[in-house]
Amino acid sequence: MHVCYAAVFRPSMFIDKLQKAVANIEARSLRRDAIYYHVLTERVALSTSKVQLCQPPWRKRLAPGRLRLHSVADVTPGVRELKAKLSDRASGPGRAYLWKLFIHHVLPSVKRVVLLDADVLLISDLELLWGQFTHFAQSAIMGVAREQNILYRSEVTARGGVGMNTGVVLMDLERMRRSRLYRSLVEGF
């Protein structure tokens, strides 16, 4: 099972939330050793994050290799250009979170991932959420829920859209890489 957190917006404030989020998952999971954590960060923040994440209690809590840092700067120039193009249409911190659309490029060897915001706390075993992948249709690449917060939802529906909450996203990265439709939607946005 792979869990991903995006720390591309104010990563220094993110470390404490990340530690709590991982501790929350670890406390509720029966198969902790089957969970791998991935943290997306920018190259500038990568060295700082490595130092902070490799300090106790992290070293005691997670076996070596279960926490991996990935720099979004390592993607191809084409992906960076596409992200920059989409950033022109986003506002505020939304620009940084657009990297979520390109996780399949940042994690090339991961087949599936549960993308979580660091402020999301689970109330039961991660394996139950991971099990939702078995309910995906053959063509499904992503599982998200409608936005429940009226403030966010009303902003999107006022523009004629349907608000989706990306605080918890199940992503079939293998299918995302193969999907011509997904690629055309992102590139044509």
Q: So what's the pLDDT on residue 44? A: 52
Give CA torsion, residues 118, 145, 132, 183, to 10 deg.
-90
**E strands present in the chain:** 2-6, 36-41, 67-71, 112-116, 142-146, 164-172
**E strands present in 99-157:** 112-116, 142-146
d(CA 146, CA 144): 7
SS3 of 13-32: HHHHHHHHHHHHHHHHCCCH
pLDDT tens track for 145-159: 877 766 666 666 676
Pairing of strands 142-146, 36-41: unpaired
Please tell me whether the peptide bond between 57 and the residue prior to it is cis, using omega within 30 degrees of 0: yes
**E strands present in 84-141:** 112-116
Which stretches of the chain score pLDDT less than 70? Answer: 8-13, 43-60, 89-96, 149-157, 159-163, 189
Residues facing residue 168 across a β-bridge: 116
Structure token pair of residue 75: 């993607």
For residue 175, which of 128, 139, 122, 146 has the smallest C-alpha distance?
Answer: 139
Q: So what's the pLDDT on residue 153? A: 60
DSSP 108: T
Q: So what's the pLDDT on residue 1? A: 96
Q: So what's the pLDDT on residue 79? A: 85
Within 10 angstroms of residue 159's Cβ, the number of other Cβ atoms is 7
Global pTM? 0.83
